[in-house]
Structure 1
Amino acid sequence: MMVLLPLLSLLLLEWALIGSCSEKGGNDEQPSTYSDTYYHGPWIAGRPGRDGRDGRDGAKGEKGDPGEVLNGMQGCPANVGHSGSPGPQGPPGIKGMKGEPGGMHSSLIEERLNMTSYLTARLLKLSKALTFYGNMVHLGEKFYVTTGQSFNFFMINKTCQEMGGAVATPRNKEENAAIMKLVVRHNTHAFLALREGIIGKFYYLDGSPLKYTNWYSGRPDGQGQENCVEMYTDGTWNDRDCSYYRLGICEF
């Protein structure tokens, strides 16, 4: 009995040390094997004890300083290569299908018809007004119009052209009579679109020879000094200097 007391005391001491290590060990790893220790004495060594439990995690450490990123040196720019030669032209594509024929939108057609009707009505009113005041005579597809003012032949010709017409040109008896109405209305003489070429021979302004004449008896008699033609109130013609002022009549 006296021999067992020291043995029991060592066992108790060993268990006490193992318990102490399990409480203080923290993150210390325990060896998986136990080395037998032999003591000199009258006792027998006990078996190795069990591994102790893992300790609790320690406190979180302070955040370290950020690391430095080293940027490399910029390289030399690359040389731009020359443009290559254009490649050969490709084959023509397949011909597309023929599209549907286009057509005018109905609203556009209606708009144009309305505009045509409006212009026709305005032209009719204008024609009636000009006829009433004796400034226009209508014959077939031609209109003979005057402002009642007198100018030299060159100004009359320019004005008629700017308006899209021409100086009144009688090419037959009917047209001569229509122009005469305006001459009688304003009781004056009017220039016609005739000019002298060869002395004593007159032509239309486009250079073509006259197909109709109505000269007053003994006219022309200017012998190259009177290159224009005027109409008297009886409808007959007389050669006259172009610089004189006469009634201007345009035909459209």
Structure 2
Amino acid sequence: MLSYSLYMLTAVAVLLMTCHTPCKCSGIPGLSGRGGLKGQPRLPSLIGSPKGPPGRDGLPWLRGLFYSLDSNLHNVLVNLQLRLSRLEGVLALNGKIKEAGEKIFASNGKEVDFESALESCEEAGGTLATPTNEEENKAILDIVKQYNRYAYLGIREGEISGQFSYIKGMALNYTKWHQYEPNGKGTEKCVEMYTDGSWNDKKCNLYRLTICEF
């Protein structure tokens, strides 16, 4: 079964790909086309035996089929793990990804508005970079410095002016506001990171660097 770290690296690879044509992975069930790379991986669902004893659902051949697939898929996953480990090394060496705890941060180098940045990250299987502690903030800052561009964070202002939360609605447990920020008073709903790692509330229609987390 694909581990969480392997899944994250696969998503990072998709984000950094410059080719936008569907990938052809006919040799790996569940990974053909772009759909198999969004959200939770489809591959693990093919491994193992179906629920219930053989023949209970009138399809006794299913158990044997799943067991035969398991051996082939194991070999595929071993090779995939090796290639992803090499990919991780290359990306880390070139400064394309940064790790902090269990998170991996990566950028495609594109500057777009907030909604477009969020959509790009979600299509790759992640979300906008959202620092929840100093270590994660520093990892994101390393990418911001690399491109020397401000970047949107996965934080937005709620219905109450001055009250910011994570994209999924949870309250912030860590902040790094620049001095006298936030000061938009309801007119600046999004949050950007400066090149010194501090935060500023900003309008969501401006172009900022896309940084995703996985």
TM-score by length of 1: 0.57
1:227 aligns with 2:205: no
| Unpaired segments ≥5 residues, structure 1 | 1-97
Which residue matches 1:241? 203
Distance of 2:185 and 2:108 partners within structure 1: 32
User: What count of residue pairs does the alignment treat as equivalent?
Assistant: 155
1:207 aligns with 2:197: no
| Unpaired segments ≥5 residues, structure 2 | 1-52
Distance of 1:141 and 1:203 partners within structure 2: 21
Distance of 2:66 and 2:144 partners within structure 1: 49
1:251 aligns with 2:209: no
Counterpart AA for 2:188: E
For residues 76-130 of structure 1, what are the alpha-carbon distances to aligned partners after superposition, in whole Å with 9 as ceiling and x for unaligned? xxxxxxxxxxxxxxxxxxxxxx769957776533312211111112211222222
Q: Secondary structure at the match of 1:243?
A: coil
Of the three residues 144, 154, 158, the one matched with 2:115 is 154
Which residue matches 1:122? 83
Q: 1:109 to 1:174 in 2, by over 3 A?
A: same
CA RMSD across the alignment: 2.0
Kept in 2, the 8 Å contact 1:130–1:136? The answer is: yes
Q: Shift of the alpha carbon at 1:225? A: 1.2
Distance of 1:107 and 1:138 partners within structure 2: 37
Q: 1:105 to 1:200 in 2, by over 3 A?
A: closer
Task: Report 1 or 2 for greater relative contact order, CA contacts < 8 Å, sequence distance ≥ 6.
Answer: 2
Distance of 2:181 and 2:197 partners within structure 1: 13
Rg: which structure is higher? 1
Kept in 2, the 8 Å contact 1:135–1:148? The answer is: no
Which residue matches 2:96? 135
Q: 1:240 to 1:121 in 2, by over 3 A?
A: same
Identity level (%)? 44
Of the three residues 124, 128, 131, the one matched with 1:163 is 124
Higher helix share: 2
